[in-house]
Structure 1
Amino acid sequence: MTRDWAVPLIHFENVGLRYGMGPEILRDLTFDIPRRSFQFLTGPSGAGKTTLLRLLFLSLKPTRGLIRMFDRNISSIPREEFPMLRRRVGIVFQDFRLLDHLTTYENVALPLRVRGKEEASYRSDVLELLKWVGLGERLNVLPPVLSGGEKQRAAIARALIDRPEILLADEPTGNVDPPMARRLLNLFLELNRLGTAVVIATHDLSLMDQVEARRMILSQGRLDIYE
C-alpha cells in the first residue's frame, strides 16, 4: 500500500478536555503533526503540556472534538487496537517508567522483545544506541543504581529503539547537563532526518534556540503555533 505523505500523522480539530465536571483543561485545539516534522511544545508550568502528550499517545480520550491518528478517527477505533497504534509512537515520560528488575540493556530492548524479535536481530542496535546516549558502560546495571540523568537517557533509548513514526518526549533533557542535552538533541534531529516526526515538550529556551523548528505554545488551555 502506498503511503500518502500529504496526510498528517495526527490531526486535532476543536479538541477539548475536562476531568469530570470541572473546567476544560484544554480547549479548541486544532493542529496537525505532519509526517517527518519537528516541533517543540512549550508553555508555563501547569499549562497542560503533559496532558496534551497523553492525548497524542492515546492514553487519554478528548471530551469533545476530533482526533485522527494515522488517518483513522480514534473515536471509531476499538480499544483492543490501541496497543497496535501505540507501537508506532515512541514516548519518553518524565518519570522514566523503567522496570527495576531489568538491566539498562533489557529495558531498552523490551519493545523489541515484546514484538517477538530474536535478540540476535537487535543486539547490535541496542548496544550502539546505548553507546550514543552515553550508557555504553552501564548496560548491565539495574535502574535503582542509575542516576536521574542516566535513567532519562535509558528511557530515551527505549523510546527510540523501534524507530517510531512519531516520538513524543516530555522534558527529555531535564536531568542532564548541557553537553548531553545537545547530544540528545542531535539524536532527535538524526531520527527526524530518518523520517520520524518529533514533538519535544520543554521549558528549556536555550535548547529550542539551537534549532529552527515549529514552536507550539500552550497557555491557559489554548495552543498557538509559530512556524
Structure 2
Amino acid sequence: MLSFENVGLSYGTGPETLRDLNFAIEPNSFQFLTGPSGAGKTSLLKLFLLALKPTRGKIILFGRDSATLSKDEITQIRRRIGVVFQDFRLLDHLTLYENVALPLRVLGQEEATYRSEVFELLRWVGLFERKYSFPTVLSGGEKQRAAIARALIARPEVLLADEPTGNVDPTLARRLLRLFVELHKSGTSVVIATHDLNLMDQFDSARRFVLADGRLHVFE
C-alpha cells in the first residue's frame, strides 16, 4: 500500500531531518509511530500524505511512484487517506455536522445518502448533542473528536493520526482507540503518531515505528 525506499528529507541546505527510511505499510495493518519530540514524526506523516517531497529516495503509494504523479493524481490519492492533524483544521463557519460531512460533500454525494452515517459517527465520538454547534464554542477535546470523525467519514483506505488522543481524557482515549481498532478490522490501515505509551500498550499486537536520530526502527 505504501513503501519508502532509501528516503531522505532535508529542509533547505541543512542536514537531513530524516534519512535512509526503508519500510512498508501493508493493507489492513495497524502501527504506532513514536519517538522523542522533534524527531520528525509530523514530517514523516506529511511524506505519507505527499504534502512534502523527499529530498532523495522513492515513495510508492498505492502502487504509484509519487515522483511521477500529476497534481490531479495526487489529489485523487489523498482522497483515499484520512488525516487527523494536531491543529484540527475545522472550518469555523460550518457546524460540527457540516465539518464532518464536508469530505462527502466535496465528493459530490447528496446529503440524504450520508446524513444518518454522520449522525452515527458523531454518536460514536460523543458529539451527537453538539452536532449543530460551531467549532468556536467547542473545547479542545471536542475539536479533536470532530477532526477524527471527519477523517473517518469517507472510510479511508489509510488513516494517519497525529496525536489523536492528546486533548482527551484517558477514558475517551480508550474509546477512540477502540474506534481505530474497529476501523482497522474493517480493512483500513492505521498509523497513529503518539507519545502515549499507555495507549500503545493497550494494543500491543500493533507494530511500533520508532523515530530516533533521523532513522526509523521497526518493532514487530
Report whether the alignment pairs 1:181 with 2:166.
Answer: no
Q: Which amino acid letter does the alignment assign opposite residue 124 of structure 2?
A: W
Q: Which amino acid letter does the alignment assign opposite residue 210 of structure 2?
A: I
State which of 132, 135, 140 in structure 1 corresponds to 2:127. 135
Q: Deviations over 1:143-194 (max 9, x none)?
A: 0100000000000000000000000000000000001000000000000000
Q: Which amino acid letter does the alignment assign opposite residue 193 of structure 1?
A: K
Report whether the alignment pairs 1:105 with 2:97.
Answer: yes
State which of 15, 20, 23 in structure 1 corresponds to 2:7. 15
| Identical residues among aligned pairs (%) | 69
Q: d(CA) in 2 for partners of 1:20 and 1:154?
A: 35
State which of 195, 201, 222 in structure 1 corresponds to 2:193. 201
State which of 30, 52, 61 in structure 2 corresponds to 1:38. 30
Give 1:197 shift: 0.0
Quote the residue 1:218 is aligned against. 211
Give 1:79 shift: 1.9
Q: Please give the residue correspondences for 1:24-103 in structure 2 after superposition, counting only pairs within 5 Å.
A: 24-103=16-95
Q: Which amino acid letter does the alignment assign opposite residue 217 of structure 2?
A: D
Quote the residue 1:114 is aligned against. 106
Q: d(CA) in 2 for partners of 1:77 and 1:155?
A: 28
**Unaligned stretches of 5+ in structure 2?**
none
Moved more, 148-157 or 73-82: 73-82
TM-score when scaled to structure 1?
A: 0.96
TM-score when scaled to structure 2?
A: 0.99
Q: Which amino acid letter does the alignment assign opposite residue 10 of structure 2?
A: R
Report whether the alignment pairs 1:163 with 2:150.
Answer: no
**Residue correspondences, number:** 219
Structure 1 stretches of at least 4 aligned residues deviating more than 2 Å after TM superposition = none
RMSD: 0.4
